[in-house]
Amino acid sequence: MQKRKTSADELIALILQGIEEVKGHNINLLDLREIENTVCDYFIICNGTSNTHVNAIVSSIQKTVSKASKDKPWHVEGTENAEWVLMDYVNIVVHVFQKHIREFYDIEGLWGDAKFTTIESSVNN
């Protein structure tokens, strides 16, 4: 029996749910599909308040996605120092930052041509 492939919209919803469950801050979705030569279709960017919080967000995303769809990230890096963790779900790349590192690298500014959506959160950002 072959498992059904999770759609991009379903995967985005699961990732956002994982971020929300542990109160990730300043969640943005960048749609890169209209930009030529991109490595993926979407970036999801958020930040945590400490390295412990960043790792909790990453863990929550992995558990939420895996439980609902059995999908696992193709690659995860940055968990050692947890200042910037990148989770690669192939067509969706998740960036979980500490706030000062996010401000320094300004990924949203680098991808200014992307369609940008701020995700309203229950957390005071």
Buried (b) or exposed (e) across 25-35, using 16+ Cβ within 10 A?
bbbbbbbbeee
What CATH number should be reported for the domain holding residue 29?
A: 3.30.460.10
Band of pLDDT at residue 125, cut at 50, 70 and 90? very low
Answer yes or no: is 125 within a domain.
no
- pLDDT tens-digit readout, 97-114: 999 999 999 999 999 999
For 95, the domain range is 8-118
**What is the pTM assigned to this prediction?**
0.92
Whether residue 90 lies inside any domain: the answer is yes
Q: Is residue 80 part of a domain?
A: yes
Indicate the pLDDT class of residue 6, thresholds 50, 70 and 90: confident
Q: Is residue 68 part of a domain?
A: yes
Q: Summarize pLDDT for 17-38 with one digit per residue, the tens.
A: 999 999 999 999 999 999 999 9
For the chain, the domain total comes to 1
**Is 2 a domain residue?**
no
pLDDT, position 95 = 98
Q: What is the pLDDT of residues 59-99, one digit of tens each?
A: 999 999 999 998 899 999 999 999 999 999 999 999 999 99
pLDDT, position 121: 73
Q: Which residue has the higher pLDDT, 108 or 4?
A: 108
Q: Determine contact, residues 103/25, Cβ cutoff 8 Å.
A: no
